[in-house]
Chain A
Amino acid sequence: MKLSVDGTILLKLICLTFFVGVQSNDGETSKEWFKIEGKVQAPDAWARLNPDWKLHTYVLIDGGEYRAFLRDDASFSVSVPSGSYVVEVSNPTVFYEPVRVDINSKGKFRARRINHIQPSAVSQMTYPLKFKPGMPYRYFQQREQWRITDLLFSPMVLMMFLPLILIFILPKMMNDPETRKEMENIQMPKYEMPEMSEMLTSLFGGGDAKKTTKSSGSKGVVKRK
């Protein structure tokens, strides 16, 4: 409880010193410089594959107002006058969460999480800064993978196979004695089958003569019985 109260007081103090610092920016060049320090971690596997990752990783302070570079041990430091800064690690492959660093005029440092919506909210982070790698950026959309079901259910294939089913499999089912019995029980309206075959005839021309005869044959069976 006490800690949080202290925090808010410190924040006010920092705000105050920040604006004082801004005022003196133009008037005189005398500024005291402070060193923001930190270290960047990289995912091990990725760092092994990209040994030059330190070359392509930059530390930007306030969007490039100041820049820092990574040393061999992936640490960095940058000199800035007192104030409040956004420190971000820019790498084209791996995401790092940016941090806000407040430095008061006495050189006291504090790192906190960036909250754009409530800029005064303090959620403290460790200082010297430690940048842990986040998720790698996903710049690209995934192409849909080719699957056999996609092919089977594609309208074109369905268009090809459904008539075939109608042509070949349905009549076969009719020949099956059990189905025949079932068919009898159902008492299908008689005009339906010829209607279907007529339609197919018109669609496929001569090819459906077989179909017509087949169905008439089965009709004959029914009659005979």
Chain B
Amino acid sequence: MKTYFSSLFIVFILIQAINGLYEDQIGKFDWRQQYIGKVSHAIFDSTGKKIVVGTEENVLALLHAGTGKIEWRHLLGNGPKSKISSLFVLNNGKVASISSSPTTVRVFDMSSGILQWEATVAKESQPIVSKWAASTRDIVLVEINPSKSGYELLLTEYSSNSGTENVSPTIELPWFTPGTDCQLVFPHLVCLHPHDDAVNVVDVTNSDSHQRIQFSDLGVAVGAGQSAVFSSVSRNLVSLRTTDTLSVYKVTDEGLQRIGAEWPSETVLVSVPSVKDAEAQQRYMSGLVKQEKDYLIRIYDLEADRMLEDVSGTVKLPEEVGEANLLSTFLMRKANGDLSYRYAIGTTDDSFHYGSKKEVYWSREESLTSIIQVEIVDLPVSSIEASIEEEFGSDQVLGGIFGHTIRRLSSQFRQLLIIAQQLMAGQINFVRRDAVGSNNRALERDRFGLHKLILIVTRPGKLFAMDTLSGRIVWQRLLKNVNTDKLRLYVQRTSIHYPLEPQCIILAKSSTSKQGILFVFHPITGEPGNFGSEGYVNLGFNVQQALLLPQNEETEYIKPLLLLDESAVPHVFPPTESALSHVVKMSDNLFVFVADTKSCVLRGYSLAKSTTDHLSSAPVWQLQLCSSNDVVEEEIVSIVSRHPEEKVFSQGRVLADRSVLYKYLNPNMVVVATAGTNHPHHRGYFNLYLIDVVSGAVVFSTSHRRVQSPYHVVYAENWIVYSYYNEKYRRTELSSLELFEGQTQSNSTAFSSFSAPQPLVDRQAYIYPAHITAMKDTFSEQGMTAKHILLGLSNGWIQEMPRVFLDPRRPVVAAATPEMREEGIMPYLPELPIPAEAIVNYNQTVFNIKKIHVTPSSLESTAMVFACGLDIFFTHVTPSRTFDVLNDDFEYGFIALVLTGLTLASFITKRLASKKSLRQAWK
């Protein structure tokens, strides 16, 4: 009976905790953008209306050439091991992609995107050379393997319709030496050893066709120490690029036949365009020549052996893109018989452009698939509020009643003007909530702080600002001359401090030296700040650690950035007097720690000895976490601290007996997770340390044996949740820790790391029946709203899991007491549920979720979620439901109806009553 009640109770709690969307809320505040990744292969189809692309994110997709939209896409695998090495468009309207490890040929139908066949080339040993090509009927694989007497060539043909495999007898290659680079121009193989002065050409279908061609016969002089590289251009063309020349050869049975004159050495690429009429398929060739700032597309007629100067044209790529590194062209004959071209160009900022001689029709910003960091910033106040701010601003010239009255009148006049302007422009929206996609909204703050700007830093060094309402890119900027391996974004001044402009900085390394570079910019407009040259500030030292101070200084309202150089000398940016004095004022309580993830050494520094003349740091503590020797390999996998803006609303948990269990809220605690493998048994292990980074004390540590990556750690308030893959039981597990001070609080006013109490630690582990790719906690402005954990799953879902499910105090069913129920603690169940109603992105799956970013809005109930991976997804979550705004199904009409009804009724009855009383009086 008791268990029956408890199960009933669980069901009740589950119903309470699930907090899903309604169907009519689709797209109300969420949006998704789908991407494909940096394009590495692009081929036009035979009509020129579709572009088949293969990308570095291992995506095979079909793009509509007119709009740039994705017709279909397939993620072929995760990580560099399933890289798409070749891509072919076959004559029968099919697409073949070759992925590595295990080498797999997949043939898809181009129009539907459905897989036709696939073949895995699973070999005992990796061949030395493995090249793919597409002939008219088949997909061809040429491999060179070591044999008894040297090297042999193996030719395998796969029928493009059915995938039937046909292996030809091997051919001995007596001339082959390891290190030779080969290009397959079917049926010829063009091989060149870097130290050789001659090219070997062999017909892979004919065993005695080997030719050796000297460079001098090719008309190219390759000096000693100069490099010469062949690359295949099309089915019968190869290009030879030496240090300063680029020439193209046609491969025939007779050898290499030079085609046309030399291309300018700055030619980026040469590719043969697809042409609409089939007989002219192999007739033209195109190249992209760099000309100062612009690019020139040149078309070469192979049959007439001349450059078609009238067809060639310049390409004006949009601003803020990198160098072009990929070209695919399509030639078509216009109605008047002239040739015209369409091009698809990939650039080093990972964007992909399509256009014609006239203009660029569309660009895809594929760097958004490799997001490094995200910050969601407030927009500036609206012009009406700005005028109010000005009215009460501090710099007032006129004082007294008279001055105030004038200011009030003038500001109200201005507000009236603004309202009139907005009315004219149709900007004022009388609808309660704005639908997603309304692009005409001005970039200004709204009442509930739901309209913000997402600042995005991407791997190729491109910055984006996106509107949270629509997902529109407001501005973009490519960082110049920086090493983009490590980029950090800091918000130094938010837009709250009107009329001071907001300010952000990017910390990067210089591309030429290892020294640090700062880029200062305005987050709303993207304009570079007034520092250094165009916002770039060369620091002149190598940055070891950077720390944005939590409080702003009082004159400029800027949060100073503290930079530690290699010898641990602190520097402050901006180097103003007020920032410096702010740091010195805080220096007694300023501690910095540096962690080396490879060697697992943590060092703590104190800035207590700093003066305004000389900032200095002194090492305080040092901690060696990993044990590294021959049998064990360990490194730090994650360091997590609490979000600096997170607020803790309640200091403790009220127990059923009305006593309080105080939370251990150490603001200086950091979670450091290390993972390693024990080599003799190849067993993974995972250690978690809670370290007070002021004193260097290890507050708590725990270890898990026989576990594997992926590891994810979330740390908020006084609890930590982390996930790992249990190798022994082959399942993902979520562990939860919660730290308490006990029934008494050691110091209720301030926390001191030097007299910190030892916390009581509750812990519990749960089975999670899915694969986690990202994990993040939600938080609100005041910390009153319940905490949920957002889990990005491998199938593209984002689950919102209430923290109570992971409460380490959940007792086993037998030990569950009514008191615990009163507290709201559920009995322990080992497996956590994944109800579909808890999926915040419903059927809008997000591929390969890498990161989830959460930011609170001005509404206490609502947090904003930005998830990124291959796709981008943005939504609002309300962990405790929308308790501070009316539900969107609130019936305004009904309440208005009832109110008017009541008023009317009261008037009518009043009238009736007066009539009646009059009649009564006459009686």
The answer on a CB contact under 8 Å between B20 and A140 is yes
The one of A67, A116, A159, A209 that contacts B913, using a Cβ cutoff of 8 Å: A209
Min Cβ gap B230→A in Å is 27
Q: For residues 108 through 127 of chain B, which have their beta carbon under 8 Å from a beta carbon of chain A?
A: 108, 112-118, 120, 122, 124-126
The proximity string for A residues 40-77 relative to B, scoring 1 for CB distances below 8 Å and 0 otherwise, is 00000000000010110010101111110111100001
Confirm or deny: B75 has a beta carbon within 8 angstroms of a beta carbon on chain A.
yes
The answer on a CB contact under 8 Å between A160 and B122 is no
Known pairs A52-B112, A55-B72; A137 contacts B22 (CB<8 A): no
Q: Which residues of B contact A92 (CB under 8 A)?
A: 796, 842-845
Q: For residues 205 through 219 of chain A, which have their beta carbon under 8 Å from a beta carbon of chain B?
A: 205-210, 213
Residue of B nearest to A34 (CB): B122
Residue of B nearest to A205 (CB): B910
Tell me the bound Cα distance from A31 to B126 in angstroms.
11
Q: Which residues of A contact B773 (CB under 8 A)?
A: 63
The answer on a CB contact under 8 Å between A29 and B682 is no
The answer on a CB contact under 8 Å between B114 and A71 is yes
The answer on a CB contact under 8 Å between A70 and B917 is no
Secondary structure call for the A interface: mixed
Q: Which residues of B contact A141 (CB under 8 A)?
A: 20-22, 837
Residue of A nearest to B919 (CB): A210
The one of A60, A67, A114 that contacts B76, using a Cβ cutoff of 8 Å: A67
Known pairs A119-B731, A138-B837, A156-B898; A143 contacts B916 (CB<8 A): no
Q: Which residues of B contact A63 (CB under 8 A)?
A: 770-771, 773, 793-795
Residue of A nearest to B76 (CB): A67
The proximity string for A residues 117-160 relative to B, scoring 1 for CB distances below 8 Å and 0 otherwise, is 10100000000000000000111111100000000000011011
The answer on a CB contact under 8 Å between B115 and A209 is no
The answer on a CB contact under 8 Å between A33 and B796 is no
Min Cβ gap B251→A in Å is 32
Min Cβ gap A154→B in Å is 8
Tell me the bound Cα distance from A71 to B844 in angstroms.
23
Q: Which residues of B contact A204 (CB under 8 A)?
A: 906, 909-910, 913
Q: Which residues of A contact B167 (CB under 8 A)?
A: none
The answer on a CB contact under 8 Å between A160 and B898 is yes
The one of B23, B118, B767 that contacts A117, using a Cβ cutoff of 8 Å: B767
The answer on a CB contact under 8 Å between B910 and A207 is yes
The one of A33, A58, A84, A208 that contacts B122, using a Cβ cutoff of 8 Å: A33
| Chain A contact residues, CB within 8 Å of chain B | 22-23, 26, 29-33, 35, 52, 54-55, 58, 60, 62-67, 69-72, 77, 79, 84, 86, 88, 90, 92-93, 95, 100, 114, 116-117, 119, 137-143, 156-157, 159-160, 204-210, 213
Secondary structure call for the B interface: mixed
Q: Which residues of B contact A31 (CB under 8 A)?
A: 122
Besides the known contacts A55-B113, A90-B796, A205-B910, 13 further A-B residue pairs in the complex with CB atoms under 8 A apart: A23-B682, A63-B771, A63-B793, A63-B794, A65-B78, A66-B77, A67-B75, A116-B767, A117-B830, A137-B839, A139-B837, A209-B917, A210-B917
Q: Which residues of B contact A54 (CB under 8 A)?
A: 114
Min Cβ gap A77→B in Å is 7
The answer on a CB contact under 8 Å between B114 and A70 is yes
The answer on a CB contact under 8 Å between A139 and B115 is no
The answer on a CB contact under 8 Å between A139 and B122 is no
The one of B108, B122, B796, B914 that contacts A79, using a Cβ cutoff of 8 Å: B122
Known pairs A67-B76, A117-B767; A139 contacts B124 (CB<8 A): no
Q: Which residues of B contact A143 (CB under 8 A)?
A: 22-24, 889
Residue of A nearest to B116 (CB): A71
Q: Which residues of A contact B21 (CB under 8 A)?
A: 139-141
Min Cβ gap A216→B in Å is 10
The answer on a CB contact under 8 Å between A207 and B912 is yes
The answer on a CB contact under 8 Å between A70 and B794 is no
Residue of B nearest to A54 (CB): B114
Confirm or deny: B213 has a beta carbon within 8 angstroms of a beta carbon on chain A.
no
The one of A26, A33, A55, A138 that contacts B112, using a Cβ cutoff of 8 Å: A55
Confirm or deny: B619 has a beta carbon within 8 angstroms of a beta carbon on chain A.
no
29 residue pairs A–B, Cβ–Cβ below 8 Å = A22-B682, A23-B682, A55-B113, A58-B795, A60-B794, A63-B793, A63-B794, A64-B77, A69-B108, A69-B115, A71-B114, A71-B117, A84-B730, A90-B796, A93-B843, A116-B767, A116-B830, A116-B831, A117-B767, A119-B731, A139-B20, A139-B842, A140-B21, A140-B23, A141-B21, A142-B22, A156-B898, A160-B902, A207-B909
Residue of B nearest to A118 (CB): B729
Q: Which residues of A contact B72 (CB under 8 A)?
A: 55
Residue of B nearest to A79 (CB): B120
Q: Which residues of B contact A209 (CB under 8 A)?
A: 913, 916-917, 920
Residue of A nearest to B794 (CB): A63
Q: Which residues of A contact B731 (CB under 8 A)?
A: 116, 119
Confirm or deny: B901 has a beta carbon within 8 angstroms of a beta carbon on chain A.
yes
Q: Which residues of A contact B898 (CB under 8 A)?
A: 156-157, 160
Tell me the bound Cα distance from A117 to B830 in angstroms.
7
Counting chain B residues whose Cβ lies within 8 A of the other chain, the interface size class is 35 or more
Min Cβ gap A10→B in Å is 17
Q: Which residues of B contact A88 (CB under 8 A)?
A: 795
A63, A139, A156, most chain B CB atoms within 10 A:
A139
The proximity string for B residues 499-526 relative to A, scoring 1 for CB distances below 8 Å and 0 otherwise, is 0000000000000000000000000000
Min Cβ gap A70→B in Å is 7
| Chain B contact residues, CB within 8 Å of chain A | 20-24, 72, 74-78, 102, 104, 106, 108, 112-118, 120, 122, 124-126, 682, 729-731, 767, 769-771, 773, 793-796, 830-831, 836-837, 839, 842-845, 848, 889, 895, 898, 901-902, 905-906, 909-910, 912-914, 916-917, 920
Min Cβ gap B162→A in Å is 12
Known pairs A67-B76, A117-B831, A206-B913; A29 contacts B125 (CB<8 A): yes
Tell me the bound Cα distance from A35 to B909 in angstroms.
84
Q: Which residues of B contact A60 (CB under 8 A)?
A: 794-795
Tell me the bound Cα distance from A157 to B830 in angstroms.
48
Q: Which residues of A contact B22 (CB under 8 A)?
A: 140-143
Tell me the bound Cα distance from A34 to B104 in angstroms.
13
Tell me the bound Cα distance from A173 to B21 in angstroms.
50
Q: Which residues of B contact A79 (CB under 8 A)?
A: 102, 104, 120, 122
The answer on a CB contact under 8 Å between A67 and B77 is yes
Q: Which residues of A contact B104 (CB under 8 A)?
A: 79
The one of A69, A137, A138, A213 that contacts B106, using a Cβ cutoff of 8 Å: A69
Residue of B nearest to A86 (CB): B730
The answer on a CB contact under 8 Å between B20 and A160 is no
Q: Which residues of A contact B729 (CB under 8 A)?
A: 116, 119
Residue of A nearest to B842 (CB): A139
The answer on a CB contact under 8 Å between B122 and A32 is yes
Tell me the bound Cα distance from A138 to B839 in angstroms.
10
Tell me the bound Cα distance from A35 to B770 in angstroms.
23
Tell me the bound Cα distance from A171 to B116 in angstroms.
84
Min Cβ gap A27→B in Å is 9
B118, B126, B889, most chain A CB atoms within 10 A:
B118
A-B pairs with the 6 shortest C-beta distances?
Answer: A63-B771, A207-B913, A63-B794, A33-B122, A92-B843, A139-B842
The answer on a CB contact under 8 Å between A55 and B114 is yes
The answer on a CB contact under 8 Å between A71 and B115 is yes
The answer on a CB contact under 8 Å between A137 and B115 is no
Residue of A nearest to B26 (CB): A140
Q: Which residues of A contact B114 (CB under 8 A)?
A: 54-55, 69-72
The answer on a CB contact under 8 Å between A206 and B914 is yes
Known pairs A55-B72, A65-B78, A79-B102; A138 contacts B836 (CB<8 A): yes
Q: Which residues of B contact A69 (CB under 8 A)?
A: 74, 106, 108, 114-115, 118
Q: Which residues of A contact B902 (CB under 8 A)?
A: 159-160
The answer on a CB contact under 8 Å between B682 and A26 is yes
Q: Which residues of B contact A84 (CB under 8 A)?
A: 730
Tell me the bound Cα distance from A67 to B73 in angstroms.
14
B72, B898, B901, most chain A CB atoms within 10 A:
B898
Q: Which residues of A contact B895 (CB under 8 A)?
A: 156
The answer on a CB contact under 8 Å between B794 and A30 is no
Tell me the bound Cα distance from A77 to B298 in angstroms.
45
Tell me the bound Cα distance from A202 to B75 in angstroms.
75
